[in-house]
Structure 1
Amino acid sequence: MATKEESPVEDKDALDTLETEAKEFDKDAEIDRILKAFRLDAYAVLDLNPGVPESDIKLAYRKKSLLIHPDKTKNPSAPEAFDRLKKAQTELMDEKHRERLDEAIADARMLLIRENKWTVDSPELKTEDFAKKWRVKTREVLIDNELRRKRQMKAQMQEEGREQRKVDQDLEDRKRKRQHEQDWESTRDQRIDSWRQFQKSKSGDDKKKKKKLKPIG
């Protein structure tokens, strides 16, 4: 039985469909990878090795951002993945943040070496197993650093809160003092009049008492 041969147009449409599906698969895979990456490690989010130059960071961000941009895919998770990608790029382009991240990664490596009683020249450091353990240890160090940072921030906020309450109390005390002085000054004439009336009344009583005194003899 003879089969109908597909036309060149149909062949092109089929290839275009396959290509579109492949691109969507790549986009979905990259979005999934970003969302599963440890967000405290900006290198992991951008899928880069620590210590790469800024040019590599910019290039990686550009390629990935174009791939997963929410305007270019129907994946509902694209906006979140795009935001994480942008945040990671911003962190790595910040000199201080990147320095802290590099220090944490270096600390994780040294901790791993000490825990296993290796040296910096040990052959184990060149294995894939070490690379996996390093990533796990880096995660632990970054989490510990983040928890410490949050505790310090909380303590600082509490201290700032105490300082602010002290400032507010001082302001309230000064306000009450000013109000007391104003009230005292506003009743000055009344107090003077009352004192004069009291003195006048007292003087009248003294005169009456003198009149009642009988002469001696």
Structure 2
Amino acid sequence: MSSSADALLALLEKHPLLSASQLAVVRDQLRPRFPEAAELAAELRERGWLTDYQIQQLWKNRGDSLFLGPYVLLEPLGEGGMGQVFRARQRHLDRMDAVKVIKPESLNRPGFLQRFQREARAAARLHHANVATVYTADECNGRPYLAMEFVEGVDLQKLVVTQGPLPVASACEYIRQAALGLQHAHEKGLVHRDIKPSNLL
């Protein structure tokens, strides 16, 4: 990709990551001040208008991959066996959600898509303080995804890695909360098959 700010502006005009007013500021005020694409990108990152992940995808000419139905993908949060989870903005509601995008290779497994849809419907019936709410399961351009409540904070694994072993009282409280959420899921006929510290927020 060209290193000029004009090239980055052209990508931003093609991929509507910014609002019309933000794009006007880029075009009229920032482009003259930051003639190099890297400088302009750094300014947009500093303003919170673009994330590092979005900038990387634009550099790779993969701007289309940042859009998934009503969602704009902002940054990856984690990755599991069947998909990758992103922090995403729901454009119509201007709400932050967590969106799990299913990996293409997962779709090749026999019966995977049917099981995914069945589990998504079951998860959508869960309404509990200790369970992230599922908003929708859909598909866009052959990419199935699951959108759910975005929970601020760190997962239990990162907490232990950064702070060391937890005090007994804190560990017991976290396990109690997880158990309450799992009990609710069990009562609704849903079995969580991947309980681990990195899945507890």
TM-score range, shorter-chain basis? under 0.3
Structure number having the greater helix percentage: 1
Q: Which has the higher contact order (CA 8 A, sep 6+)?
A: 1
